[in-house]
């Protein structure tokens, strides 16, 4: 029987010799994370703890924030690790592997985004198509290109179903406004924990990338990408 899951296996090797493997298991169709439930969860995972003002979940139906639940093990492992320490990271997927020596905060940012999008947060769910083609350690330009490409493909599928489309990317700007609120309020959760700042700084990195995407659209600052599409911009030709 086929295993209908997708695995992203992150291995972190700290300079003191400590090693930790995070095997992120996702449903192949929905890309939802499959994590065994813990017997107990820390208080900062409660949904009502710094709940995002734009959160569509009700505390009567959901006792815990799905993002917080997904990130407990990551936050716990890195709570005593300084942000700017070096770490060797390896990501293994079914198709290829990646390796990088980088700072702890930059390494956490890569895995943090993966957990957040697959956690079950209704707002972050909209970024799930990017998870299937996860690119670790991406920079701001790569992130902007991938996000806009994903959003435009979503509009293509909407048009095929006769749904209203948004080729001007207005909905993407709104989505990233929502994501910024999530990042800000989750940072408040992390600030309640007695921990080093590695996870908090990783979240700040992700938020900077989110702001870059939003500003690129708001200010029509995508001109750096336009020369790449020169073959498509010839009037009257295919």
214-229 per-residue burial string, b: 16 or more CB within 10 A, e: under 16: bebbeeeeeeeeeeee
Q: For residue range 149-207, list pLDDT tens digits in order.
A: 999 999 999 999 999 999 999 999 999 999 999 999 999 988 888 666 888 899 999 99
Output the pLDDT for position 192.
Answer: 83
Q: Measure Cα distances from 90 to 71, 100, 104 in Å.
A: 19, 7, 13
Output the pLDDT for position 217.
Answer: 85
Domain ranges of the chain: 5-228
Q: Helices then strands (H, E): number in the chain?
A: 6, 4
Output the pLDDT for position 1.
Answer: 39
Output the pLDDT for position 195.
Answer: 67
CA–CA separation, 151 vs 144, rounded Å?
Answer: 11
3-state secondary structure of 237: coil
pTM for the whole thing? 0.90
Output the pLDDT for position 52.
Answer: 94
Output the pLDDT for position 79.
Answer: 87
DSSP state letters, 35-82: -PPPS---GGGBTTTT--TT----TTT-SB-HHHHHHHHHHHHTTTS-
Output the pLDDT for position 236.
Answer: 63
Query: What helix, strand, coil percent values describe the chain, rounded to 5?
Result: 45, 15, 40
Output the pLDDT for position 196.
Answer: 66
CA–CA separation, 58 vs 205, rounded Å?
Answer: 29
Mean per-residue pLDDT pooled into runs of 10, the chain (238 residues):
83 94 96 92 92 94 95 91 91 95 94 95 96 92 93 97 96 94 92 80 90 82 88 75
Output the pLDDT for position 143.
Answer: 92
């Amino acid at each position: 029987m086929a295993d209908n899951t997708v695995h992203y296996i992150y291995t972190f090797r700290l300079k003191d010799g400590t090693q930790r493997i995070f095997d992120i298991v996702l449903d192949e169709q929905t890309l939802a994370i499959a994590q065994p439930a813990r017997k107990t969860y820390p208080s900062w995972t409660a949904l009502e703890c710094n709940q995002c003002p734009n959160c569509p979940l009700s505390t009567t139906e959901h006792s815990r924030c799905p993002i917080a639940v997904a990130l407990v093990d990551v936050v716990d492992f890195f709570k005593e690790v300084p942000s700017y320490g070096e770490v060797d990271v390896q990501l293994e997927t079914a198709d290829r592997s990646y390796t990088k020596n980088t700072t702890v905060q930059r390494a956490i940012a890569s895995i943090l985004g993966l957990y957040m999008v697959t956690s079950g947060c209704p707002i972050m769910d909209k970024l799930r198509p990017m998870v299937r083609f996860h690119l670790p350690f991406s920079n701001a330009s790569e992130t902007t290109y991938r996000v806009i490409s994903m959003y435009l493909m979503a509009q293509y599928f909407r048009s095929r179903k006769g749904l209203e489309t948004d080729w001007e990317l207005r909905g993407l700007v709104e989505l990233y406004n929502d994501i910024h609120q999530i990042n800000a309020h989750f940072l408040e959760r992390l600030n309640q924990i007695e921990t080093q700042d590695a996870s908090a700084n990783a979240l700040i990195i992700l938020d900077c990338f989110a702001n870059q995407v939003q500003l690129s659209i708001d200010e029509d600052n995508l001109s750096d990408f336009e020369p790449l599409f020169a073959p498509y911009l010839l009037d009257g030709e295919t």
